[in-house]
Amino acid sequence: MKDKRITVTGGKGFLGTHLLRNLAEKGYGRVSVADLPEYNLVDIGGVRRLYDEQQPDIVLHLAARVGGIGYNAENPATLFYDNIMMGVQLIHEGYLRRIDKIVALGTICAYPKFTPVPFREDDIWSGYPEETNAPYGLAKKMMLVQAQAYRQQYGFNAIFILPVNLYGPGDNFDPRSSHVIPALIKKCVDAVEAGEEEVVVWGTGAATREFFYVEDAAEAIVAAMERYDKSDPVNIGAGFEISIRDLVELIVELTDFKGRVVWDATKPDGQPRRMLDTTRAAREFGFRAKTDFREGLRKTIDWYRDFRRK
């Protein structure tokens, strides 16, 4: 596979930059990036130009319109339209051009709101997603439907993998659209440096989440590209669960914030619990996460502090 032409959509993004580094370290030398502003993948013209210009054998589709609870609440239509159009057009044009493979990245938001924990791939259709992120989650899940349909009718090799919440160096720390870990790190680090005495956190802290270090996620995607060619969706994650309250306490400790944490219970918690069953990934392509959560948080905090000083 080292001679294959590989296109990474969203390659300039958080996960994309780590994936490009992983591919380079493994000796993949024919890797291209398809991202804004050069390629607007919501537009069919941008998708066709990608295939015309880069002529990939394999597409790793990471590009997505994403955000946290607040962003999701304000932009449900944008999240649905942009994500569904990117996925549908990339897979269809890839099939028309007879490329070797597409690896489509889904989201844990595709799972039903009350999925039994740990989330197993067989439960993905057992209910409706959590309301605050349902448009995004359903748009991404349509790639699974399309991948399975195109495999059944055309024999097209499209696979669908479901990462849990990512974090790590290079994450999105914009408070308008960031996810929970970068949002909390920013609040605590900024409060320490400004001498502030409190930080406000959304929700009650009762919800639980699983967090997946971005370098481990890049490793999982390459492993799936190399070794997985089936229609069943596959979870990739770290296989542990932590409450938001415990997460806040850990970030407070690691950032050395000495003030008060104020919980704004008028804000939503989001999905009550999230944790993946990752046994299928281990069985099918030998992936297991390696990064200790505390160490991953420390590296992320250090990166953000360095970033603020630049």
Q: What is the pLDDT of residues 268-295, one digit of tens each?
A: 888 788 899 999 999 999 999 999 999 9
- Give the confidence band of 244 by pLDDT, cuts at 50, 70, 90: very high
Q: Which residue has the higher pLDDT, 7 or 308?
A: 7
Give the CATH fold of the 6-167+211-239+274-290 domain.
Rossmann fold (3.40.50)
> What average pLDDT is seen over the chain?
96
Instruction: Give yes or no for residue 237 having a pLDDT over 80.
Output: yes
pLDDT recorded at residue 273: 86
Nearest to 247 by CA among 215, 293, 301: 293
Known catalytic residue at 111 = no
pLDDT recorded at residue 103: 98
What is the full DSSP assignment across the chain? -TTS-EEEETTTSHHHHHHHHHHHHTT---EEEE-TTT--TTSHHHHHHHHHHH--SEEEE-------HHHHHH-HHHHHHHHHHHHHHHHHHHHHTT-SEEEEE--GGGSBTTPPSSB-GGGTTSSPBPGGGHHHHHHHHHHHHHHHHHHHHH---EEEEEE-EEESTT----TTT--HHHHHHHHHHHHHHHT-SEEEEES-S--EE-EEEHHHHHHHHHHHHHH---SS-EEES----EEHHHHHHHHHHHHT--SEEEEETTS---SS---B--HHHHHHH-------HHHHHHHHHHHHHHHHH-
pLDDT recorded at residue 65: 93
Averaged pLDDT for residues 22-48? 98
- Give the confidence band of 11 by pLDDT, cuts at 50, 70, 90: very high
Task: Round to whole Å and give the CA distance between 223 and 189.
Answer: 35
Choose, from 28, 136, 213, 304, the residue flagged as catalytic: 136
Lowest mean pLDDT among 109-123, 156-170, 220-234, 262-276: 262-276
What is the tens place of the pLDDT at every residue in 55-96? 999 999 999 998 877 888 899 999 999 999 999 999 999 999
Instruction: Give yes or no for residue 208 having a pLDDT over 90.
Output: yes
- Give the confidence band of 116 by pLDDT, cuts at 50, 70, 90: very high
pLDDT recorded at residue 67: 80
What is the tens place of the pLDDT at every residue in 93-110? 999 999 999 999 999 999
- Give the confidence band of 16 by pLDDT, cuts at 50, 70, 90: very high
